[in-house]
Structure 1
Amino acid sequence: MEFLILMGSIVAIIWLMKFFLRKVLHIPRVKRKAFSYNHINKTHRNLEWVLRIATMIAYVYLFFLLMYEDFSANLFLLIMTFLFTAQNFLRAYFEWKASEQPKESILSIAEGVMLIGIVLLLIQFDVLYKLPPIIYRS
Structure 2
Amino acid sequence: MFWLRFGVIIVCVLAVNSLLKVLLRKLLKIEKVKKEVFSPNHINELHRKIDKGLRIFSTISLISLYTVLLFYYEDFIYLFFFALTAFTILDYIISAFFEWKYTLYPKQSILTITEILVIIAAIIIVVQFNLLGPY
Fold match by TM threshold 0.5: yes
What is the number of equivalent residue pairs in this alignment? Answer: 131
Q: Which residue of 2 aligns with 1:70?
A: 74
- Of residues 97, 101, 117, the one that matches 2:101 is 97
2:14 pairs with 1:11: yes
Q: What letter matches 1:40 in structure 2?
A: I
Q: Which residue of 2 aligns with 1:135?
A: none
Percent identity of equivalent pairs? 34
2:37 pairs with 1:39: no
Question: TM-score, structure 2 length as denominator?
Answer: 0.85
Alpha-carbon offset, residue 46 of structure 1: 0.4
Worse-superposed segment, 35-44 or 15-24: 15-24
Aligned pairs for 1:90-129 within 5 A: 90-128=94-132
Q: Kindly provide the CA deviation profile for residues 44-74 of structure 1, in whole angstroms up to 9, marking residues without a partner as x.
A: 0000001111111222123324433234354
Q: Which residue of 2 aligns with 1:134?
A: none
Where 1:114 maps in the other structure, the secondary structure is helix
Q: Which residue of 2 aligns with 1:28?
A: 31
Where 2:74 maps in the other structure, the secondary structure is coil
Runs of 4+ residues over 6 Å off in structure 1: none
Q: What letter matches 2:118 in structure 1?
A: M
Worse-superposed segment, 30-39 or 101-110: 30-39
Where 1:27 maps in the other structure, the secondary structure is coil
Change in Cα spacing, 1:32 to 1:5, as seen in structure 2 (3 Å) is: same
Q: Which residue of 2 aligns with 1:57?
A: 60
Q: What letter matches 2:104 in structure 1?
A: E
Higher relative contact order (CA 8 A, sep 6+): 2
Alpha-carbon offset, residue 38 of structure 1: 1.1
Change in Cα spacing, 1:117 to 1:78, as seen in structure 2 (3 Å) is: farther
Alpha-carbon offset, residue 75 of structure 1: 3.4
Can you give the 5+ residue segments of structure 2 that lack an aligned partner in the other structure? none
Q: CA RMSD in A?
A: 1.8
Where 1:127 maps in the other structure, the secondary structure is coil
Alpha-carbon offset, residue 20 of structure 1: 1.5
Change in Cα spacing, 1:98 to 1:34, as seen in structure 2 (3 Å) is: same
